Amino acid sequence: MDEARRAKLKDWLRGATGAADLELGAMALLSGGAIQQNWALDVTLAGREEAWVLRTDNAATLAVSLPRTGEFALLRAAFAAGVTVPTPLYLCEDSGVLGAPFFIMRRVQGIAAGHRVVKSETLCGGRDAAVQALGRELARIHRITPPRADLAFLGAPPADACLAFVAEQRAALDRQALPRPVLEWGLRHLERTAPPPLPPVLNHNDFRTGNLMLAEAGVTAVLDWEFAAWGEPHADLGWFCAKCWRFGSAYEAGGIGAREAFYAGYAAEAGHAVDAARVTWWELAAHIRWAVIAIDQAARHLSGKETSLELALTGHIVPELEWEILNMTGVPHAA
Amino acid sequence: MQREAPVGPNLLATARDALLQEILPKLSGTDAFTARMIANAMAIAAREAVQDDDWVAAARTTMQRLTGATAAPDRALSAAIRTGAYDPGSKHHTEVAALLRDAARRRCAISVPRVLGKA
């Protein structure tokens, strides 16, 4: 970030905090994802050192992700509902300061990287304690229900989240270059076996290992709220447990711990049991959703607009997802 | 006359070994991650170079017979699956399931043979 922008940012922060003596220290880019940038920001405020994160949009933002203003509103709603999130502090909707809206949240410590989290025996007090705690976090998220004036940007909840999912994925497939018979096979299975609708709740929609920050003492943050939407609670449970998000680990709950412990944590906080059959339905849905996203990511590489080895290799995840989709729809292994 | 050996798959495998054994140990963080991605891409390309593609034509013939579509039988098959034409209990359910499984196996053999119990 250049000096002119730093100066603008400092002025804006002085106004937002009301601290005329606020000083801006080191700034380091934490991650420059395809969708947004996160900057670690050290600030001196009323003589105290503060560790913050500044989150802003990249120029090329995915159409499906929420703008930072929406993400800030979600963080505030989650924080108020008792979900462990980085404390949301200030929102700047004026693109004149940094070129895009941004918000400030407190910096939290911990490990999120999936391949590290699934190998740890000690994070959050051990595997089962970790997934119990994560189950409780998810149940708190699901206490947020529509209608909510502060979350009006999420639109109206779907009348039937399961059938809405099938329709959305089919529409996404219809926008892609090639037909995908295995994904169609999975979607038809979902359509035939869809359970009846439940009252809508807030779905995080990317609640999985890799987006959950853990420390030895416990969960330190549920991150990445940009795909949140109204939906069916088991959608998040299925996304978390789906085999494609276990990072190669044998533990069924996010590669971290036992499924039963995760369900128990969820049920204790929610006050009702998890419907395991619905989670199974959403685990198949998770494989299809991830496959559709992976195909889109490879298409970005193939289009020539965003040449990237990582995007190119993401396309090669699709066959494994297809293999699992066939397993989950009862197709025998023998040809 | 013929191409000079070693040809593509051998070159890719040899270059990949050099990357993993000589270069990767000297790297860390993002660079190590990128090196692993490069190694993975080389492995996929090497497997693709030696796979017999006959299954693609055979699958196409099967799809043409099942759907009656000559031009884009994979599109016709996808559309028919969506409408429930091959649901459990239907005449061709088992045959379509086997066709999809076989295609998935061939595709995994290139992209991610670990799924099939192969290194």
Q: What is the residue extent of each domain of chain A?
A: 3-106, 114-328
Q: How many helices (H) and strands (E) does chain A have?
A: 12, 9
Distance between CA atoms of B15 and B28, rounded to whole angstroms? 20
Is the distance from CB of A57 to CB of A97 less than 8 angstroms? no
Binary contact (A182, B103; C-beta < 8 A): yes
pLDDT in tens, B37-91: 999 999 999 999 988 889 999 999 999 999 999 999 999 999 999 999 999 999 9
Position A225: which residue type? W
Average pLDDT in chain B: 95
Taking only the tens place, the pLDDT of each residue in A166-212 is: 999 999 999 999 999 999 999 999 999 999 999 999 999 999 999 99
**A47 phi and psi angles, rounded to 5 deg:** 80, -5
Reported ipTM: 0.95
Backbone angles phi, psi at A61, to 5 degrees: -100, 135
What is the signed CA dihedral for A155, A161, A163, A166, rounded to 10 degrees? 80
When scoring A30, A169, A311, A331 by the number of chain B Cβ atoms within 10 A, the one with the most, hence best to mutate, is: A331
Predicted local confidence at residue A62, as pLDDT = 46
Contact assignment for B82 to A322 by CB distance below 8 Å: no
Find the mean pLDDT for residues A85-112.
Answer: 92
pLDDT of residue A34: 56
Q: Contacts of residue A173 in chain B, CB cutoff 8 Å?
A: 78
Determine whether the interchain pair A335/B105 forms a contact, defined as Cβ–Cβ distance below 8 Å.
yes
CB within 8 Å: B100 and A185: yes
Question: Cα–Cα distance between A59 and A64 in angstroms, integer?
Answer: 14
Select the CATH number that applies to the domain covering A3-106 from these four: 3.40.50.12160, 3.30.70.260, 3.30.200.20, 1.10.645.10: 3.30.200.20
pTM above 0.95, yes or no: no
Q: Provide the CATH number for the domain formed by A114-328 in this structure.
A: 3.90.1200.10
Q: Would the CB atoms of A317 and B72 count as touching at under 8 Å?
A: no
Residues in chain A: 335
d(CA A247, CA A240): 11
Contacts of A225 (CB under 8 A, 6+ apart): A66, A71, A74, A75, A78, A85, A204, A206
Dihedral sign for Cα atoms in the order B116, A310, A109, A58: negative
Structure tokens at B75: 């599109």
* Closest chain B C-alpha to A19 CA, distance in angstroms: 38
* Nearest residue, CB atoms, A188 vs list B34, B82, B111: B82
